[in-house]
Structure 1
Amino acid sequence: MNRLQPPTLLVIDAQAALDDPRWGRRNNPEAEAIIASLLSVWRSAGAPVIHAHHLPGEETSTFQGPGSATKPEALPQAEEWLLWKSAPSAFAGTSLSRLLAGAGAQTLAICGFVTDNSIAATAQAAKGLGYATQVVADACATFDQHGPGGDLQRAEEVHARSLADMRREKTEVVESAAFL
């Protein structure tokens, strides 16, 4: 990983939609505060920041209306990029690859929501495109899920399993302390 050039911080789906009770119980209630701290560090260093937000989908989507709003802790600043995506990966159907190439980015530090969905899909795509990829584990969160047999999988377990899968695929999984 190139330590001379700071990574580009990619904040994924830090949107009000994920506060909707329909998502259920989540792990890591501190994720937003940690994202805010990461943004502060990146901004102070003048390092690149990109926000990727999920587009409102069908009418019943939690991302409709007020749900599409950015969480207050992660509001983009004027000099930061904001992309809208319609798939889990922030690369699918967006200009992310072009932005990164134009910025000369080599390393991505990814944080946000949902660990086992948009975070994992984006990290996998980034690795496939040749980027050194870091996922900031304590700046991500997910939700309880029901397995194929209906058994409850706690958000903490889903989060840990997703991070382990990413690590197995050669994504560097780090804690925010590495940057803060």
Structure 2
Amino acid sequence: MKNRVMTEIQLDDDAALIVVDVQQGFDDPYWGRRDNPAAERNIVAVIREWRARGRPVVLVRHDSTSPGSPLRPECPGNAVRAEVLAALGPEEPGLLVTKSVNSAFYGAPDLDAWLRARGIGQLVVIGVQTNMCCETTARMAGNLGYRVLFVIDAMHTFDATGPDGEVVTAEDLTRATAASLHHGEFATVLPTATLLTASAS
């Protein structure tokens, strides 16, 4: 059966939450117009639920090598957002992955090795940007055999200019990501409310 936008899901007790690149630098005007102002609220709600249930949390941070990027390691924008750190609480995440490319599976330490060593087969992806690092991480996870839940309203992205010079809105990019992941069976796309309901049951 194809993955789909679902009202009911099965959630493993040890499903790992992958929190992708929720960093201060994404507030910078450098990126342009964004979508989904509720993203941070939903991200925090999911992290708090994972902490309350004692499920594993992986924090991913993008250490950009691009000139001028607010996410470069020497920039204040490289830091993880304060509300994410508050939601995590005093306990360190199970793993901190740093990367300079889109996929969290091409970072350090080795995310795939860490997950497989713990027998984890289901991942929940949230964070920034929807159609960039979140989507790439989800696609690769699907290719590696993980069952992926992609929480589409616990992330956001920015408008982008195509090769024809036309601007594609962040909302349209988000819809395209949802359709691509769903149609290609890389992930099950769902809203925060559905995930939290499944977690509480």
User: TM-score normalised to the size of structure 1?
Assistant: 0.94
Is the contact between residue 2 and residue 107 of structure 1 (CA under 8 Å) also seen in structure 2?
no
Aligned letter for 2:50? Answer: W
- Find the residue that maps to 1:91 and give its secondary structure: helix
2: distance between equivalents of 1:139 and 1:4? 19
* Correspondence for 1:21 among 6, 29, 34: 29
RMSD: 1.5
Query: Identity percentage over the alignment?
Result: 35
Q: Structure 2 CA distance, aligned partners of 1:123 and 1:69?
A: 23
102-111 or 50-59, which moves further after superposition?
50-59
What does the per-residue CA deviation read over 1:12-71, in whole Å, with 9 as the maximum and x for residues that have no partner?
000011111010000001111110000110000000000111013134111131011111
Counterpart position of 2:115: 100
1:73 aligns with 2:73: no
What's the counterpart of residue 6 of structure 2? none
Q: 1:154 to 1:58 in 2, by over 3 A?
A: closer
Deviation at 1:147? Answer: 1.6
Moved more, 42-51 or 101-110: 101-110
Q: Secondary structure at the match of 2:106?
A: coil
2:105–2:112 CA contact under 8 A, matched in 1: yes
The AA in structure 2 aligned to 1:151 is: E
Matched with 1:36 is 44
Look up the SS of the partner of 1:108 in the other structure: strand
- Aligned partner of residue 148 in structure 1, secondary structure: coil
Matches within 5 A, 1:1-180: 3-64=11-72, 65-75=75-85, 76-77=88-89, 78-80=91-93, 81-94=95-108, 95-170=110-185, 171-180=187-196
- TM-score, normalised to structure 2, is 0.85
Amino acid across the alignment from 2:92: E
The 1:4/1:54 distance shift into structure 2, 3 A limit, reads: closer
5+ unaligned residues in a row in structure 1: which ranges? none
- The alpha-carbon distance between structure 1 residues 79 and 93, as it changes in their structure 2 partners (threshold 3 A), is closer
Question: One-letter code of the match for 1:31?
Answer: A
Distance in 2 separating the partners of 1:136 and 1:68: 23
The alpha carbon displacement at 1:103 in A equals: 2.2
**CA–CA separation in structure 2 for the residues paired with 1:98 and 1:165:** 27
CA contact (8 A) 1:10 1:109 kept: yes
Deviation at residue 140 of structure 1 after TM alignment: 1.1
Q: In structure 1, what is the Cα distance between the partners aligned to 2:12 and 2:126?
A: 21
Q: Partner amino acid for 1:179?
A: L
Does the CA contact (< 8 Å) of 1:35 and 1:73 recur in 2?
Answer: no
Q: Distance in 2 between matches of 1:104 and 1:22?
A: 40
